[in-house]
Amino acid sequence: MSGPLIVLVGPMGVGKSTVGELLAARLGTGYRDTDADVVAAAGKPISEIFYDEGEDHFRALERQAVRAAVAEHGGVLSLGGGAVLDEGTRALLAGRPVVYLSMDVDEAVKRVGLNTARPLLAVNPRRQWRELMEARRHLYTEVARTVVATDERTPEEVAQAVLDALELPDAPSSGRENTRMTEQGPTRIQIAGSAGTDPYEVLIGRQLLGELPTLIGDRAKRVAVLHPEALAETGEAVRQDLADQGYEAIAIQLPNAEEAKTVEVAAYCWKALGQTGFTRTDVIVGVGGGATTDVAGFVAASWLRGVRWIAVPTTVLAMVDAAVGGKTGINTAEGKNLVGAFHPPAGVLCDLAALDSLPVNDYVSGMAEIIKAGFIADPAILDLVEADPQGARGPAGPHTSELIERAIRVKAEVVSSDLKESGLREILNYGHTLAHAIEKNERYKWRHGAAVSVGMVFAAELGRLAGRLDDATADRHRAVLESVGLPLTYRGDQWPKLLENMKVDKKSRGDLLRFIVLDGLGKPTVLEGPDPAVLLAAYGEVSA
C-alpha cells in the first residue's frame, strides 16, 4: 500500500509536529502536517477559520487536506487533533501505519497551558480538554496500529518509541543528535505553502548539490545561476554541472554583498534573462550569501511576474535567515529592502560544507540571527552557545548543525503561518529596526549581523525600560552576544539620524514607530509608539 511511512494522530498539544519532524529527519524522508495544509489553503490561521467560518467549514477543509496528503505524501504525516472525527478519514487510515500519541491532562497543562489560543478550548480549557478526549480517545485507538504514551518523555524518546513500535530502521539516539542529519540523508524541514504559493523543503547536510536537478525538475529548459564575484568559480562549477545534466545553463555574476542589491543590478539580470529566452517554466538558482539570494529571489519574482527559483545559501546568515521565508528585495537610497516581493523559493539547499571556508567575521555575523531565534522562540539555542562560545564562532564547533537547524525551524514555523508579515512574522524583526537604521547610516558597509547584535541589545534595553523585560534576560543579551565576538554598541552622536531612518522602517505605521520587544524569554511582542525619552534612554545604553 503506497502512502505515508508513518501517520501520527493524537490530541492538540501532544507534540505531533515536533515528533513528526524528528522522525522524518531520522528516516531521511519528508514531513507533512495537514493543519499546515489547511492554513495554506485558507490563507489564515486555524483559530481565524473557526471564528470566521465555523468548525464545519474547517472540518471540510481538513477532510480535503487529509485525502490529498495520504494520496501524495510518502514520508511522515501528522493529522490535526480532530481529523479522526470524520468517518471517511478513519476508513482511509485503515491498514496504514498509524501511531496514536497520547497524554493526560496534567501533561497537557505543562505543554500548552490549555490557553485560549486553541479554538476548541476557549471557555473552560481543562474541562473541555477532558470532554474532547472522552469523545475522541476511542477513535484514536480505533485507527491506530500502536499507541505511544508521551507523558514525561522528551520528543526524542517519543520518536524512538515510535520507530521501535513500528519496527522501522533505528538511528543513533544521543539527545538532540537524533534530529540532525544521519547517513540516510540530509535533514529536511518543510515550509508550508500559503495562498498562491507551494510548500517547499529546506535541506541541511553536506554534498547537497546533487539534489539540485531534482528541485529544478523536467519542465525547465534553461537555468540561470546567479552568484557573487567572490564565488565565481563556484558559480561556474554549478553552471557546468547543470549543463552536463542537459539544461541550457548560464551564469550571471553579481557584485559582492549589499552592492548587488540595486535596481541597476536587477536590470542587468533581466537583460540577461531576456537575451537567453527565459520563460515561465525556467528556473533561477541563487548561489551565495544573503544579498545574492535576496537579488535572485527578487529577479525571479519580477521576471514574467514570477518564475521558480532555488536558494543555495553559502553563509550562516543566508542559511538561517535570507534564503528561508520568501522575502526578496533590493535597497534604495531611502532604505534597506524597501523594494521587493514575497516570493518563496522552490527549495533551499543548506550545504554545511560551504561554511568551512567562510571568514570568521562572516560566520560570527550569522550567529546574530541564530541567537535572535534563541531569544524569541528557542532558548535551547542560547544554552548551546553558552556551553561553548568559542565553538559557536566557527563551523568546526560541536553544535554547528544543531544551531543552524534550530534557527531554521524557528523561522520555518513562523513563515509557514504568516508569509507576508501580517502578524506573527514581525517577531523575526527583533533587533532589526535599529539594525537597518545603522546599516543605512553606514551605507551598508557594516555586516548585517553586527547591526542586528546592537539592535537586539537596544531592543532588550527598550523592553526593560518599558517594564516588559526582566533584568536577567536583558543582561543575558549582552553576555551571549559578546561571548561570540559580536558588537554591543554604536556611535552615540548618530541618534538623530538613526531616529529618522527608523521612521521609514517597514514595521512603522504612519508616524508611529513600532518595535519588537520581549515580555520574557521566548515571548516576543510589539511595542507601539514608545515615549521618545524612553527611546533615547535605551539608545544611551548602547552608545559608544
Catalytic residues: 305, 327, 369, 411, 421, 425, 429, 432, 436, 448
In the numeric block, which cell numbers belong to residue 373? 531565534
Cα 223 off chain centre by: 26
| Closest listed residue to residue 449, CA positions, set 370, 388, 393, 513 | 370
Strand order in the sheet with 347-351: 187-191, 200-205, 347-351, 308-313, 283-288, 222-228, 248-254
Cα 429 from Cα 456, distance rounded (Å): 10
DSSP state of 256: S
Asked whether the beta carbons of 7 and 101 are under 8 A apart, the reply is no
| Cα→Cα distances 177→53, 157, 159, 371, 398, Å | 42, 12, 12, 20, 11
Asked whether the beta carbons of 526 and 515 are under 8 A apart, the reply is yes
CB neighbour list of residue 131: distance below 8 Å, 6 or more residues apart: none
Nearest 10 degrees: CA dihedral of 199, 205, 211, 216? 40
Strand partners, 312: 287
Cα 78 from Cα 392, distance rounded (Å): 33
Detail the DSSP E strand segments found in 375-501.
none
Backbone phi and psi for residue 44, each to the nearest 5 degrees, phi listed first? -160, 160
CB neighbour list of residue 486: distance below 8 Å, 6 or more residues apart: 364, 365, 367, 368, 371, 449, 450, 453
Cα 399 off chain centre by: 19
User: Half-sphere exposure of residue 397, counting CA atoms within 13 Å on the CB side?
Assistant: 24
Strands 283-288, 308-313: pairing kind? parallel
Give the helix/strand (H/E) hosting 240.
helix 232-244
In the numeric block, which cell numbers belong to residue 117? 489560543
Backbone phi and psi for residue 417, each to the nearest 5 degrees, phi listed first? -105, -10
| Cα→Cα distances 523→376, 452, 468, 518, Å | 6, 18, 10, 5
CA-angle at 113, arms to 107 and 119, nearest 5°: 115
| Cα→Cα distances 398→221, 349, 403, 421, Å | 41, 21, 10, 34
- Count of C-beta atoms within a 10 Å radius of residue 439: 25
